[in-house]
Amino acid sequence: MKYLLSRLLWLPVVMWAVATLTFVVLRLVPGNAADAIFNLNLPIEQIEQFKAQWDLDKPITQQYLAFMGDLLRGDFGVSMSSAVPINRLLYERIPPTVELAVAAMIIATLIGVSAGVISAVTRNRALDFVVRSSSLLGMSVPWFWTAIVLIIVFAVQLRWLPVGGRIAGGMDYERITNFMLIDTLITGNWAALQSHLRHLILPALAIGLTSAGFIARLTRGAMLEVMSKDYVRAARAKGLHERAVVFKHGFRNALLPILTFLGLQFGALLGGAVITEMVFSWPGLGRLLLDGILRRDYPVVQATVIVVAFIYVIVNLAVDLAYHLVDPRLRNT
Task: Give me the sign of the Cα torsion angle 155, 109, 94, 307.
Answer: negative
Q: Which fold has domain 93-294?
A: MetI-like fold (1.10.3720)
What type of residue sits at position 127? L
Nearest C-alpha neighbor of 283 from the set 86, 146, 97, 83: 97
- How far apart are alpha carbons 311 and 315 in whole angstroms? 6
pLDDT at 107 over 90: yes
What's the whole-number mean pLDDT along residues 38-47? Answer: 66
Q: Where are the domains of the chain?
A: 93-294
Judged on CB neighbours under 10 Å (0-12, 13-18, 19+), 279 is buried
pLDDT of 179 above 70: yes
Question: Distance (Å, rounded) from C-alpha 172 to C-alpha 169?
Answer: 8
pLDDT digits (tens, 9 = 90+) for 126-160: 998 999 998 888 888 887 888 889 999 999 999 89
Q: Does 10 score more than 90 pLDDT?
A: no
pLDDT category of residue 77 using cuts at 50, 70 and 90:
confident
Average pLDDT over residues 260-283: 79
Q: Count other C-beta atoms under 10 Å from residue 325's C-beta.
A: 11
CA distance to 19, 87, 133, 272, per residue, from 306 (Å):
6, 12, 38, 14
pLDDT tens-digit series, residues 186-242: 999 999 999 999 999 999 998 888 889 889 999 999 888 888 888 778 877 887 777
Q: How would residue 80 be classed by pLDDT, with cut points 50, 70 and 90? A: confident
Beta bridge mates, 85? 78
Task: Specify the pTM.
Answer: 0.84
